[in-house]
Structure 1
Amino acid sequence: MPTDDLPETLHVTTDEQLRAVSNLTRHRIMAVLRFEPATITQLADRLGLAKGSSSYHVRLLERAGLVRVVQTRKVRGVTERYYAMAARSIVLPKRGTGEPDVLMRHAVADLEAAPVDGERQVRMAHLRLTEAQFAELGERLNALADEYRELSDPSLPDVSLVFALFRPAAGEKTEEGTK
C-alpha cells in the first residue's frame, strides 16, 4: 500500500492534535499504524476494541491530521479504508512546567498492560554526567532507536523501546539531608 510518500516528520502544533495524541487508545492505534496500514476492523481486532470505538478514535486522529486514508477498496458493496500514519514520526511540543509527560504515561501504561510472563527488559540507572556527556548519551540513544526503527519488519512481533534521559528535580536540602 502506498505509504512511501509520507513526510518524515509531523509536528503537533494544535490543541486538537495534542488532545488526539494524549489518549492512550489513540496512542495504541498510532503504534499499530506506524508499521503498516490497517482497516477499522483490523485495528479493533488487534487492540481488542469494539469496532465502533476503533472507528471513533481513528476519525479523531484523521480529523487532527495524524492519520490518513492510504487505500480504499470495495468489499461486498462496502468501501473498506486502510489508514496509515500521516508522517513517519510525530514530534510533540515541549511540555510546560507541571504538564504531564504524555509519552511516558503511555509507555508506563503499555508496560503495565504487557503480559507479566512476557519477555521484557526494564532498567533504571542513576548517572552523574557533564553537560557534554549528557548530550552525547542522548544523541547515541536517539541514533540507536533510529537504527533499529529502520530494521523493523512489519511481519515480526511488536517491540516498544522507551527511554527518558533527564536531570531529576533537585530536592530541598535540610540540615539532616534531603527532605
Structure 2
Amino acid sequence: MPTDDLPEALHVTTDEQLRAVSNLTRHRIMAVLRFEPATITQIAERVGLAKGSSSYHVRLLERAGLVKVVRTRKVRGVTERYYAPAARSIVLPDPATGQPDVLMRHAVADLEASPADGPRHVRMAHLRLTDEQFAELGARLEALADEYRELSDPSLPDVSLAFALFRPAPRRQTTGDGDGNGEGDRA
C-alpha cells in the first residue's frame, strides 16, 4: 500500500477515538492493517472473527477516523472495500492518573495469546539511571524500533515489540512484623 499520501501520525484526542482503540479486538484489527489494506472478509479471517463482528468493529474504527477506505473493487456485483489505517502511526495519549495504559494492556494480552512454544524474548530489568541516561535510553529504544519498522516486510510473519521505560511510583518505607497490613512486606 502506498503510504506517501498518509499523514505520519494521528493523535488520538477524542473520547470516541479512545474508546475505539481501547478495545482489544479493534487493536488486533489495527495490527492486521498496519502493513497492507484488507477487506472485511480478510480482517475477519486474520483476527478470527465472524464477518459481521469484523464489520462492526471496522465501522467503529472508521467512524472514529482511525481507519479509512483506500480502494474499492467490484466483485460479482458487490463493492469490496479495502481498509487501512488513517495514518502511518496512531499516537495514544498518556493515561490519566490511576488509569490503565491501554497500549501496554494490549501488548500483554497479545503476549499472553502468543504461542508459548514460539520464539520470544521477554525481559524486565530494574535500573538506576540519571535523568539524562533515562532520556538517552528512551531515545535509543525508539530509534531502534523505528529502524526495524522501516525494515519490515509485509510478506513476513508479524512480530510485536513493546517496551516501557518508566520510573515506578515511590514505595512506602516499611517496618514491622509483616502482619499483612503492608508493614514488613518484602519483594
Q: What corresponds to 1:56 in structure 2?
A: 56
Q: What corresponds to 1:172 in structure 2?
A: 172
Q: What corresponds to 1:161 in structure 2?
A: 161
Distance 1:8 1:37, change over 3 A: same
The residue type paired with residue 69 of structure 1 is: V
The residue type paired with residue 107 of structure 1 is: A
The one-character-per-residue Cα deviations of 1:41-82 (angstroms, maximum 9, x if unpaired) are 000011111000000000000000000000000000000000
The residue type paired with residue 152 of structure 1 is: S
Is 1:150 aligned to 2:150, yes or no? Answer: yes
Q: Give the secondary structure class of the aligned counterpart of 2:18.
A: helix
TM-score (normalised: structure 1) = 0.97
Larger radius of gyration: 2
The Cα shift of 1:178 comes to 6.4
The Cα shift of 1:2 comes to 4.3
The Cα shift of 1:4 comes to 2.6
Aligned 8 A contact 2:3 2:88 in 1: no
Q: What corresponds to 1:133 in structure 2?
A: 133
Distance in structure 2 (CA, Å) of the matches to 1:178 and 1:65:
51
Is 1:115 aligned to 2:115, yes or no? Answer: yes
Distance in structure 1 (CA, Å) of the matches to 2:167 and 2:110:
24
Distance 1:126 1:178, change over 3 A: farther
| Equivalences for residues 90-109 of structure 1 within 5 A | 90-109=90-109
Q: What corresponds to 1:20 in structure 2?
A: 20
Distance in structure 2 (CA, Å) of the matches to 1:92 and 1:118:
29
Aligned 8 A contact 1:107 1:162 in 2: yes
Unaligned segments of structure 1, at least 5 residues: none
Unaligned segments of structure 2, at least 5 residues: 177-182
Distance in structure 1 (CA, Å) of the matches to 2:99 and 2:161:
23
Task: Tell me how large the CA RMSD over aligned residues is.
Answer: 1.2
Aligned 8 A contact 1:3 1:84 in 2: no
The Cα shift of 1:170 comes to 1.3
| Equivalences for residues 30-109 of structure 1 within 5 A | 30-109=30-109
Distance in structure 1 (CA, Å) of the matches to 2:173 and 2:96:
25
TM-score (normalised: structure 2) = 0.93
Q: Which stretches of structure 1, 4 residues or longer, exceed 3 Å deviation after superposition?
A: 175-179
The Cα shift of 1:133 comes to 0.2
The Cα shift of 1:129 comes to 0.3
Bigger relative contact order, structure 1 or 2 (CA pairs below 8 A, ≥6 apart): 1
The residue type paired with residue 14 of structure 1 is: T
